[in-house]
């Protein structure tokens, strides 16, 4: 995905592309405290076990680890707390129905700053089987080999 103006990547969940078939993508805002934003400005976050869920008509990001701000005081944030996502009601309903009916899960793929605000890109995801992962790895290796051969022919 091309980097757009005013956008600074914090963390990219490359593991999600490996473990899931990703489909529809949605951008959401994240409700954060001040020390969380300061910690994210340093580029520190882990999305390895993160997922989004819908509870009582609200979307929540669970499993995002934002380490404590080192210069923070006793009012520092809890690193693993669930964070509320800012989405339109129709988007929340669409995500909730896809998860309930079709067996999808909602996975964050990127966390970034856009015009000074923290945004998360969510994707509807269906788990890959082992053979799908192997097929993707083989295709990637074949692409790399072709690129190497073409590069050597150009010289």
Quick: pLDDT tens for 14-51.
Answer: 888 888 888 889 999 999 988 888 889 988 889 988 99
Q: Which fold has domain 8-127?
A: Small Protein B; Chain: A; (2.40.280)
Scanning the structure block, which residue is given the tokens 């097929």?
Answer: 135
Burial of 77 (0-12, 13-18, 19+ CB in 10 A): buried
Any idea how long the chain is? 155
Give the Cα separation of 70 and 39 in Å (integer): 8
Give the Cα separation of 131 and 20 in Å (integer): 12
The answer on pLDDT for 122 being more than 90 is yes
The answer on pLDDT for 133 being more than 90 is no
* Among 109, 114, 138, residue whose Cα is nearest residue 51: 109
Q: What is the DSSP string of 17-44?
A: HHHEEEEEEEEEEE---HHHHHHHHTT-
pTM above 0.85, yes or no: no
pLDDT digits (tens, 9 = 90+) for 57-100: 999 999 999 988 887 777 788 888 999 999 999 999 999 998 98
Q: What angle do CA 14, 138, 134 make, to 5 degrees?
A: 70
Banded model confidence at residue 5, pLDDT cuts 50, 70, 90: low
**HSE-CB for 36 with a 13 A CA cutoff:** 19
* Among 62, 90, 57, residue whose Cα is nearest residue 78: 62
Banded model confidence at residue 4, pLDDT cuts 50, 70, 90: low
Banded model confidence at residue 119, pLDDT cuts 50, 70, 90: very high
């Amino acid at each position: 995905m091309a980097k757009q103006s005013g956008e600074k990547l914090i963390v990219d969940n490359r593991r999600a592309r490996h473990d899931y078939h990703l489909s529809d993508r949605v951008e959401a805002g994240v409700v954060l405290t001040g020390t969380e934003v300061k910690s994210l400005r340093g580029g520190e976050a882990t999305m390895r076990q993160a997922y989004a869920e819908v509870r009582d008509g609200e979307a929540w990001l669970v499993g995002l680890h934002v380490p404590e701000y080192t210069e923070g005081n006793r009012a520092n944030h809890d690193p693993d707390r669930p964070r509320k996502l800012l989405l339109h009601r129709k988007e929340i309903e669409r995500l909730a129905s896809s998860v309930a009916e079709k067996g999808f899960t909602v996975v964050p793929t990127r966390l970034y700053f856009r015009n000074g605000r923290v945004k998360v890109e969510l994707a509807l995801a269906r788990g890959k089987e082992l053979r799908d992962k192997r097929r993707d790895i083989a295709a990637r290796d074949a692409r790399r080999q072709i690129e190497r051969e073409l590069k050597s022919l150009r010289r």
